[in-house]
Each structure stands twice: as structure tokens, then as C-alpha cells.
Amino acid sequence: MGSEVKMEAPMCLIENSPDGKLSVNPQAKEILSKITQPVVVVAIVGLYRTGKSYLMNKLAGKNAGFDLGATIVAQTKGIWMWCVPHPTKKNHTLVLLDTEGLGDVQKGDKKNDTWIFCLAVLLSSAMVYNSKGTIDQDSIEKLHYVQELTEKIKVKASENDDEEAEFSKHFPIFIWTVRDFTLSLEVNGEKITDDDYLEHALAVKEPERTLRDQMLNLPKKCIRMYFPRHKCFTFCSPTSNLNLFQKLEQVSDEQLFPSFVAKAKQFCDYIFSYAEVKHLDGFQPAKGNMFGNLAEKYTEAINNGQVPCMENAVLYLSENENKAAVEKASEYYETEMAKRVVFPTETMDQFMDLNKECEEKAVDIFITRSFKDKDHHFQKELMGRIQKKKNEFLKKNEDASVAHCDDLLAKLSEDLDKALTAGSYVVPSGYQLFKQEMDKIVGKYNEDTKKGIKGDEVLQRFLKNNEVTGDTILKSDKALDENERIKEAEKAKAESLMMEQKVSQVKASQEEQKVDNQMKSFEMNFQRLLEKLKAEKMMMREQIERLVSEKRREEELLTRQGCARQAKLYAAQISDLEKEKEQVDQETAWYTPIWESLKS
């Protein structure tokens, strides 16, 4: 289920210092570390003074929160964060990121703007680009940051010839919001939707006869190619009253144009429905602490003059998460075993059953939290830790059994010790009296149900320790002739041998149980891992299918628009994705190396 954090107001997540250095706010990171739910991350970017903050406040279900401002001075600096319970996804947290306005003349650093834009792309699962007026060539050219992404973001750490094709697997959905839109949504006299308007605006010009044509087409191609899904919302002005316009955070919906209010609701509903959980490497749902670490890793790379690499950031996070998963699972196993096992257990089966329940839950804790565990290094570490701790509990169980049995026999043999000290058995028929007392001790000893797994072994030792005493009494018993003494001695020897065999069999059985339990433990670990890998393969397949569907839609649209050359690029990408899907679907013995790896 996980814990949620309710923030009463936004807080700066990434601070932007006057010298252009970016840094993660420790207080914001602390808040994120307490969020154990999956996070849906929505970021908004756009030119300054375009009303970005109003939309984010609406997503938070508030009128006020992110500073709207009512002057020509840009209000938001850096990237601000507001974490609220997701209104439609139970047990999820909605993380809203409001970025500082791009193109602020007072800031003057275009490179800094680019990094803010890149961080919005890297951190979000849905990115809103907010602009005013119309989507024309000028507004598209102002979105030049998108064509710089290939130089500012790396998907893989190694050289990748087709880095751009990888973007759509990892980038957020793209929503363009157009504020103060006054045009009629028509093309050639026919009514069109907001989405049609965006597609029409992003139509590339073919053939590209000049460098100018190529430059005009580039940002359009990048938007279409890099982001897996595109959406558009056109907003009319919220009100014609300037005074109301300048204090929207204090204005009720009834005071605004109904069409504006309705479009704002459509926008929020779309975000709530289609903005997905932020995933790391396509599979691992990000939770608050992971998201905070991700922001810090990307920011560090930028400050160090490096290109943020998604693969390196995910590997860094996986290392931290896998270590934490081992610690958490180990701690659970040790705590639960200490709490649930009452030492000594009556049987080895009872101990092993409790061990099985605790170990399975511990492995589930690890499997749920861990990801990208290369060569299953961390899972093997957990298996080793649990085995070591289990051996310690086994030793404790054995020691508790021995201690209980020794105490029990000491109490039961008090009368025997007194009689021996008094010489009560050095009389005619004394051997019979001694045997009766020994049988009485053994009978009461066997009635005890708390002896544990060393009960027979401790009893054998007790009987062995009294064999010499019994033999001495037997030899001195004048009531028995020589033949009777021999028979009693042989009988005692046979009983001793029988007890020894019984103890040997019990020991062998318990050792067999230990070995069997270890094998079952290995098989359980393997099965849990197999289930996780199968689920990841399914997610990979679904991700590829979604991408193919989006790419095919783009290909068909470009074909209808007469952009055959651009459509061919999408056809090639679809072909590559289909081959990738075939590899995922292939039923091979892909699990064999995993089996061998875990055994090693």
C-alpha cells in the first residue's frame, strides 16, 4: 500500500542559483524519501508569463499553490514540486513539477533553459508544454529545446547509432496546451479537434528542397519522433475582466468563462487517466525516494559538465535499491524468525515450516523492491545471508533443546542421585530397583512435549553416562546368579545399541531435512525470480506493442499528409520493434543461465 505525503504547499525541488548551478533541495528530497507509493510525475514547461502555474494548481485540486504572479517578472525559479494524493489512482502519489519560465530576458542564459527543459523530460511521465496564442512556425521554433535533446540526453552509456529511436521508449507523453486561443478550429472549412490542430501544425514540409525547409521541419520531426504520444488542449481566455485575470488564484470557476473551465477539467481528466507511473528503465515503478535520487543524479551530471545518461542513473539507483532490498528482506527474516519461533521447537518440521514462511516473505520483499540485479548478485547475497541466519537459528534451537532436556533430566534424576549417594542400590535386588527408577525417569522424560529436536540425543547421553553405574550395581547384586547377570548385561547392551541407532536415524533424518529445505529454498528463489522476469517480459511486450501502435498511427498520418520519406523512417522503426518483440516472444531456455547463476 505504501505511505503518502500530503504537502500543504509547493516546495522548490531543484534550485537554480544565479551562477546557473542546479542543486536538489535537501528538504524536498527528505519529503520524497517518505513517499513509498508509486509516483505519477507531471511536469510543465513553457515560456515565462504564459500561465503554467494555474494549470498545475488545478491538477493539485487547488486555486492557489504554485505562484501565478501578475507582473511581467517570471515568478518560478528552478523546478518546484507539489506532492498530492492521486485523485483517481488509489495508493499513488501525484508529483507536480512547475518549471521556471523559458526565455526569461532577465536570466539571459539560454543554456540554463535547455537544462531545465531536459530535466522536465527526464523526470516526468507526462510533460505539458504551455504556450500562448497559436501553434505557428514561430511557436514551434521557440520549442527549439526539443531538437537539442540528442546532445543533452543519452539513453545508453555505450555508443548508440540510433539514440533518437530509443527516446520514445523512455520519454514522457507530450501535451501541448495553447492559452488565449482565439482562432476557429477549422481546416478548409471543416471542423477539427484540438488534436487535429496539433497534427496539422506538426505536419512536415516535403520535399525539403532547402536548408531552410530542413530547419523548419526539424523541431516538428523531433516532437513526433521522440515522444510516444501527443495531445493538445486549446484554451480560450479565462475572462475578459483584467482585474480577475490578474488574480486567478482568488477567482471561483463561476467568475470565469464556462468554456475555459470545461477545457481545464478536460485537461485534468486526461492527465489523471493517461499520465502513467514514472518507470525506471521501462519496468520498475519509481517511488518517492527513487525519484529524489534520480533528480539528484541528473542534476549532478549537469553540474559536472556531463550529459545525463539514463542508463547510468538507473544503474546507480538499482545499486542503492538492491542493497536496501537485501537489508530490508534480511531484517524481516531475522525479526520474524526471532518473534515466531518458540525455542526449542518440538520437531524439525515445525522449525522448517516457520522458516519457509518467513523466508518466502523475505524473498518477496526483495523481489518486489529490487531491479536490474545483474547476474543476480544481490539475490545470491540475500540467499547467503538467510542461510547463515537460518543456521544460527538452528544452532539456537538445538542449544535450547539440549538445555531444556538437561534441566529436565537433572530434576527427574534427583531421587536417583540421592539413592546412589546413600548406597540404596547396593543391596540384593538393587539392580531391579535401579532399573525401575531409570525406567521411571525415561517414562516421565518422554511425556514432556517441549524437549525439542535434541531430545533423543540428550537422553542417550544420560543413559550412556549411567551405564557404568548400572553395570557396577548389576555385578554387586547378590540376588542374581551369573547367568542372570549375563542376560541383564546383554539386554542393557541391546537397549543401548537400539537407542544409539534411533539417535543416528533421527540425526540422519534431520540432516536430510536441512538439505531438502535448502534445495526447496533455492527452488523457491528461482521460482520467484522466474515469475518476476516473466512479468517483465510481458511488460516489455506490452511496451513494444504500444510503441508500434503509436508509430503506425504516425506513419499512416504522414502518408496521408504526403510525407512519404518521413513515413519510411517510421516504417523502419516499426520493423525494428517487431523484431524486438519476436525476440521477447521466443520460447527458449532463457532461464537455464539463471538456474546456474543462482546455484553458483
Task: Spell out the domain ranges in the chain.
Answer: 11-308, 318-600
514 against 41, higher pLDDT: 41
Chain centre distance of CA 556: 37
Distance between CA atoms of residues 84 and 264, nearest Å: 18
Do the beta carbons of residue 86 and residue 119 sit within 8 Å?
A: no
For the segment 104-113, the average pLDDT, to the nearest whole number, is 65
CB 75 within 8 A of CB 67: yes
| CB atoms near residue 482 (< 10 Å) | 7
Cα–Cα dist 65/73, whole Å:
18
pLDDT digit string (tens) for 168-224?
888 999 999 999 888 888 888 889 999 999 998 998 887 778 888 888 888 988 998
Q: Which CATH number fits domain 318-600: 1.20.1000.10, 1.10.730.10, 3.40.50.20, 3.40.630.30?
A: 1.20.1000.10
Q: pLDDT-derived band of residue 394, with 50, 70 and 90 as boundaries?
A: very high
pLDDT at 249 over 80: no
- Give the CA dihedral 280, 282, 286, 290, nearest 10 degrees: -10
Say yes or no to pLDDT of 589 above 50.
Answer: no
d(CA 543, CA 538): 9
The pLDDT confidence band at residue 590, using thresholds 50, 70 and 90, is very low
pLDDT in tens, 501-554: 999 999 999 999 989 988 888 888 888 888 888 887 888 888 888 888 888 888
Which segments of 288-340 does DSSP mark as H helices, in order?
288-303, 310-340
Q: How far apart (Å, rounded) are the C-alpha atoms in residues 452 and 402?
A: 8
Average pLDDT on 584-594 reads: 55
Question: Could you tell me the pTM of the whole model?
Answer: 0.81
50-101, pLDDT tens digit by residue? 677 888 888 998 877 776 543 333 445 789 999 999 999 999 999 999 988 7
Contacts of 480 (CB under 8 A, 6+ apart): 431, 474, 488
> Cell numbers at residue 166, please?
530509443
Cell representation of residue 18: 544565479
C-alpha cell at 51: 500561465
Residue with the three cell numbers 528463489: 525
Q: Is the peptide bond before 344 cis (omega within 30 degrees of 0)?
A: yes
Cα angle, residue 477 at apex, residues 471 and 478 outer, rounded to 5°: 150
Comparing CA positions, the residue from 119, 70, 557 lying closest to residue 300 is 119
Looking at residue 20, its pLDDT comes to: 76
The superfamily (CATH) of domain 11-308 is P-loop containing nucleotide triphosphate hydrolases (3.40.50.300)
In sequence order, what are the beta bridge partners of 97?
43, 81
Quick one: pLDDT at residue 393? 97
Of 315, 320, 330, 333, nearest in space to 380 by CA: 330
Rg of the chain taking only CA atoms, in angstroms: 37
Q: How confident is the model at residue 4 (pLDDT cuts 50, 70, 90)?
A: low
Q: For the segment 172-183, what is each residue's pLDDT rounded down to a tens digit?
A: 999 999 998 888
